[in-house]
Amino acid sequence: MRYGSDVVVEFLAAAGIEYVALNPGASFRGLHDSLDEAGTPQPVVALHEEVAIGIAHGYAKSAGKPMAVFVHDQVGLHHAAMALFNAWVDAVPMLVIGGSGPRDVTRRRPWIDWIHSGHPESAVIRDIVKWDAEPAALEAIPETLARALRIATTPPYGPVYVAIDALLQEAEAGDLPSGGPVAPAPPITAPRAVVDELAQALTAAERPAFVVDRGAPGASVPLLSLAAKLSAAVVDLGGRSFPAEHWADQTTAALADADLVVALELRDVTWGLTTVNLEDRSTTPVTAPGARVVAVGLAEQRGRGFLEPEAFAPGFERITAELTVFLGELDEAVAMQDRPDRRAALTAAHDATRAAAARAAADAAGEHPIAPAHLAASLARALADTDFQLANGLLGGWPRKLLPLRDESTYLGRSGGEGLGYGLPASLGAALAQKDGEKLVVDIQADGDLMYVPEALWTAAHHELPLLIVVHNNRTYGKDELHQAEIAKLRGRPGAPPPRGIRLQRPEIDFAGLARAQGVDAVGPIEDPQDLEKALQDAVHRLTVQQRPLLIDVVCRGS
């Protein structure tokens, strides 16, 4: 016998979906059975829907292709909402398939089916997915899934949601075709005249600069070429975009004298080109007065009404285009410029910045608690001869200053929505993507963020995902402590301790014990800075020998 749920799973296999993350739910029992019987895609078991969605988020950024997630109706969907918000803001593709219904009210079980059946099922997440649907007949399932996957993988990317009625999952499907591979639509690009005008302006500019944030797959290749041709500064705002060791990589100080700034797929252009005063929330430009600013990307194609990613800033020129294609066309239109003095100045500034960061880390090497700079420097030395991928970790900006981030695949960037609970699940997704590859996946894991999804450690152990988890354990919610200190200062209480609820103390969390309890090897807590480097080197060696997760608990001060 062949069922509707078999049609769904066959579609996923034919479309090239390799993995499905799930936390079991009664509303997709048919899908679960079909997945288990088919053998492909492979199931990845999570103990919470936020973990399942986060795995798909990190996998897509690491593998460059989407995976699928099965979620339970309503209760599972509510649990998934925070992680879906992160994925939507971060413009990451994934295919989320939910169980629903039964839509036929005469077939519902009393109470339980009624409280789990939304009208529509997607109402609670409709504003944080790119598209949603609920096919009403078996024959509509393949077409709906194909459309969903095409929309998810057409820039601007995003998660999509398709609810499959429980009765359709369990209905006989006969010889209904399940569909095949799905091709994304051609990317959006700007008219050639727009490309040529910007190319001419960049050629004429004396001090051109690029600012990049989220980037796009493959975008660093033409950006590297443009930087070389124009001797242009590139300011990376912490996304997954530009190699940190390249001479063109500069701090935001490079924007102060730029006469033409091209902002590339920034999450918020004003945020990227200003500094913020926490006291009164005012902003100060980091660009020179009169500098021309051109923002390139697809931000204006992502507005949902419910949430706009950035304030409307009329002072910026905007070009609507998919980044990789646009930069490739721009690179073709720009000729090599002879600016040896400019390149020498940028190289000197880059080298001085890296050297200053190294000195600061060396000066902090003996500090107690362990300084984040020392943690980053020690990790950089441990990874020096290793092909690695930093799946997650801000650490006050020190990884970008000190780690050998060699290309756009070396660091996967931030969560998008800045929702807690992202780091470990996304890192599991990256480890899943790299499981049979050569890259060692690293997660610099904030302690508070980890406590939102501690059950993700079980998934790491259960699936034997090779992942180095370095817990930045400063025993506090650092960002909240910063804001509470600001409020204390404004209200005439300087030096006042942060209120209850900020510090993760009394008792301190035993992260190593938490990991071991779920089958993850663990070391720590490490409190002596002299013990740190050897522990990290041993951890890297262990992970190159055995394909299992390993957690190191490092007690640090704030960033």
Residue type, 451: M
Final residue of a structural domain among 169, 201, 231? 169
In DSSP terms, 69 is beta-bridged to 21, 96
Q: Is residue 182 assigned to a domain?
A: no
Which whole number is the average pLDDT over 486-510? 80
How many residues belong to the chain?
A: 559
Q: Which residue is it, tokens 């997650």?
A: 392
- pLDDT at residue 77, rounded to an integer: 95
Q: Is residue 378 assigned to a domain?
A: yes
Q: Let me know whether 333 and 431 are in one domain.
A: no
Q: Are strands 283-285 and 274-276 parallel, antiparallel or unpaired?
A: antiparallel
Query: 109-113, 313-317, 550-554 — which is least confidently predicted?
Result: 313-317
Distances (CA, A) of 331 to 176, 191, 208: 48, 15, 14
* Sign of torsion over alpha carbons 34, 40, 46, 50: negative
pLDDT classification of 313: cutoffs 50, 70, 90: low
| Report field, pTM of the whole predicted structure over 0.85 | yes
In DSSP terms, 109 is beta-bridged to none
Residue type, 475: R
pLDDT of 250 over the 70 cut: yes
CA angle 492, 494, 498 (to 5 degrees): 110
Q: Is residue 186 assigned to a domain?
A: no
- pLDDT at residue 306, rounded to an integer: 79
Q: Let me know whether 206 and 328 are in one domain.
A: yes
CB atoms within 10 A of CB 365: 16
Q: Is residue 185 assigned to a domain?
A: no
pLDDT classification of 387: cutoffs 50, 70, 90: very high
- pLDDT at residue 126, rounded to an integer: 93
Q: Is residue 122 assigned to a domain?
A: yes
- In angstroms, the CA 233 to CA 251 distance is 9
Q: What is the pLDDT of residues 108-153, one digit of tens each?
A: 999 898 889 888 999 999 999 999 999 999 999 999 999 999 999 9
- In angstroms, the CA 388 to CA 19 distance is 22
Q: Let me know whether 434 and 527 are in one domain.
A: yes
Whether the CB-CB separation of 59 and 68 falls below 8 Å is answered with no
Residue among 528, 540, 521 at smallest CA distance from 379: 540
Which whole number is the average pLDDT over 296-308? 80
Q: Which residue is it, tokens 């506090």?
A: 476
Q: What is the CATH number of the domain that holds 485?
A: 3.40.50.970
Which whole number is the average pLDDT over 303-307? 75
- In angstroms, the CA 188 to CA 298 distance is 9
Residue among 525, 496, 510, 523 at smallest CA distance from 368: 525
Average pLDDT value for the chain: 92
* Sign of torsion over alpha carbons 474, 475, 481, 485: negative
Q: Let me know whether 160 and 208 are in one domain.
A: no
Q: Is residue 438 assigned to a domain?
A: yes
pLDDT classification of 408: cutoffs 50, 70, 90: confident
pLDDT classification of 278: cutoffs 50, 70, 90: confident
Q: Let me know whether 245 and 338 are in one domain.
A: yes
Residue type, 136: A
Residue among 413, 416, 469 at smallest CA distance from 446: 469
The phi and psi torsions of 12 (rounded to 5 degrees) equal -60, -45
Q: Let me know whether 164 and 63 are in one domain.
A: yes
- pLDDT at residue 330, rounded to an integer: 97
Q: Let me know whether 382 and 502 are in one domain.
A: yes
Q: Let me know whether 406 and 294 are in one domain.
A: no
Q: Let me know whether 398 and 272 are in one domain.
A: no
Q: Is residue 215 assigned to a domain?
A: yes
Tokens of 180: 């095949």
- In angstroms, the CA 143 to CA 121 distance is 19
pLDDT of 512 over the 80 cut: yes
- pLDDT at residue 309, rounded to an integer: 67
Which whole number is the average pLDDT over 103-109? 90
Q: What is the pLDDT of residues 173-221, one digit of tens each?
A: 999 999 888 888 888 899 999 999 999 999 999 999 999 998 888 899 9
In DSSP terms, 210 is beta-bridged to 234, 262
Domain that residue 518 falls in: 364-555
Q: For the chain, what is the domain count?
A: 3
pLDDT classification of 476: cutoffs 50, 70, 90: confident
- pLDDT at residue 480, rounded to an integer: 83
Distance of CA 374 to the CA centre of its chain: 25
The phi and psi torsions of 418 (rounded to 5 degrees) equal 60, 25
Q: What is the pLDDT of residues 389-400, one digit of tens each?
A: 999 999 989 999
Which whole number is the average pLDDT over 420-443? 94
Final residue of a structural domain among 169, 200, 230? 169
Q: Let me know whether 24 and 155 are in one domain.
A: yes
Final residue of a structural domain among 169, 204, 230? 169
- pLDDT at residue 311, rounded to an integer: 67
Share of the chain above pLDDT 70, in %: 98
Tokens of 101: 């219904």
Instruction: Read off the DSSP letter of residue 128.
Output: G
CA quadruple 162, 16, 265, 214: dihedral, nearest 10: 100
Q: Let me know whether 532 and 393 are in one domain.
A: yes
pLDDT of 314 over the 80 cut: no
Residue among 378, 411, 409 at smallest CA distance from 393: 411
Which whole number is the average pLDDT over 506-522? 94
Q: Let me know whether 417 and 551 are in one domain.
A: yes
Question: In 506-551, where does DSSP find H-type helix?
Answer: 511-517, 529-545
- pLDDT at residue 444, rounded to an integer: 97
